[in-house]
């Protein structure tokens, strides 16, 4: 049985909260290194807000796998996300931009 699932989060950015940061504790393979978690809040279907965790940034400062995605307030986004449970709470982590070919296939099937 799977411990997570994939879903699509499409909508417009309503906010980008400040990044959370900290350091890996001793005993962790990356002990002493800084970790950064960045999220974006997306208004989905003009009904509710979904917070999604963004991928790490690469050496150029871009989110890995997202290219030059625009996350300004009001910008449209279309993400493929992995949903899992961490400490009893659901979390959505962006895996990639939703594949354009898949979006076209779904539109033509409707």
Average pLDDT, the chain: 88
Residue 52: count of CB within 10 angstroms of its CB: 20
Residues 25-52: what's their mean pLDDT?
A: 92
Residue 70 is predicted with a pLDDT of: 85
Q: Mean pLDDT, to the nearest integer, of 73-91?
A: 92
Share of the chain above pLDDT 90, in %: 58
| Residue 77 confidence (pLDDT) | 94
pTM of the model: 0.80
Nearest to 12 by CA among 93, 78, 67: 78
More confident residue, 59 or 77: 77
pLDDT digits (tens, 9 = 90+) for 12-36: 999 999 999 999 999 888 888 889 9
10 within 8 A of 92, measured Cβ to Cβ: no
Q: Exposed, middle or buried: residue 58 (CB in 10 Å: 0-12, 13-18, 19+)?
A: exposed
pLDDT reported for residue 107: 58
Residue 57 has pLDDT above 80, yes or no: yes
């Amino acid at each position: 049985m799977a411990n997570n699932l994939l879903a699509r989060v499409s909508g417009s950015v309503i906010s980008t909260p400040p990044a959370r940061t900290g350091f890996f504790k001793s005993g962790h393979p990356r002990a002493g290194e800084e970790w950064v978690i960045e999220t974006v809040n997306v208004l989905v279907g003009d009904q509710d807000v979904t917070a999604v965790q963004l991928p790490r940034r690469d050496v150029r400062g871009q989110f890995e796998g997202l290219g030059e995605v625009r996350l300004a307030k009001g910008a449209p986004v279309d993400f493929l996300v992995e949903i899992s449970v961490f400490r009893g709470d659901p979390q959505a982590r962006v895996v990639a931009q939703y594949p354009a070919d898949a979006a076209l296939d779904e539109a033509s099937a409707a």
